Amino acid sequence: CLMIQSALRVSYTSPKVMHWITELLVWLFDNESERPRLADEAECIAAEAVANGFFEKSLEEMGEYDLQEYNSEDYAFGVRTPHIVFNYLDYLLWKENKEKYNDFVFEFRNSVEHWYPQHPSEGTIEPWDGRDVFGNLCIISRSVNSKFSNLSPESKMKSYKKMVQKGSLKLRIMGDIIERGTSETWRLSECAKHEEEMISLLCEAVQEAIEEE
């Protein structure tokens, strides 16, 4: 319950957009005897935000969404990707494997990072037009963002491995993939595989939230 509320809290940093707190309080007022279900209600709030802001569908429309319709370009929002998408995904990954990620905490990670950089340093790796796809993105703090700069994924892991391993869970997974491959294999194939897995997890969770409503 604390983890899903933490995911929401770090996603909406301004009091002007923290409507989820009001929604939870109203729900508690109306359902005081159902307090053990508070986490489920918070999950539904996050799921609806992801449905609207990422899949660009209502919760009802998500119930009919078929992942076979999935097209990577539909989710290539780059830095415009809502932060709740990354934080809800991290929550789902943590929930799936709490023992593996028992050191994970939500923090105010306010920068969307391109794992394969937007503007690679000259003479390092090839530019990539598909860099804005969801698979190539993660959320990090501004201080880490300045360190990553325009480094290749391999260089980020070699220079800042400890930062990666303490970062968001999506970033950790991308780091593990790079340790088994290269920046080139990431661009050509591994990014697409990673994206499909992450979007499948998001989609299934949103659809489960609909059923629980």
For range 67-78, the mean pLDDT: 90
- Give me 131's structure tokens: 């860099």
Packed helices 191-212 and 38-53: angle between N→C axes, nearest 10 degrees: 130
pTM of the model: 0.94
Interatomic CA distance for residues 169 and 157, integer angstroms: 15
Q: Which long-range contacts (CB under 8 A, 24 or more apart) does 192-196 make?
A: 192/72, 192/133, 192/135, 193/135, 194/135, 195/72, 195/75, 195/133, 195/134, 195/135, 195/136, 196/70, 196/135
Q: Find the helix or strand (DSSP H, E) in which 186 lies.
A: none
Residue with tokens 């939230």: 209
Query: Is the confidence at residue 68, as pLDDT, over 90?
Result: no
What is the pairing mode between strands 137-140 and 111-114? Answer: antiparallel
Q: What is the pLDDT of residue 213?
A: 65
For range 167-182, the mean pLDDT: 97
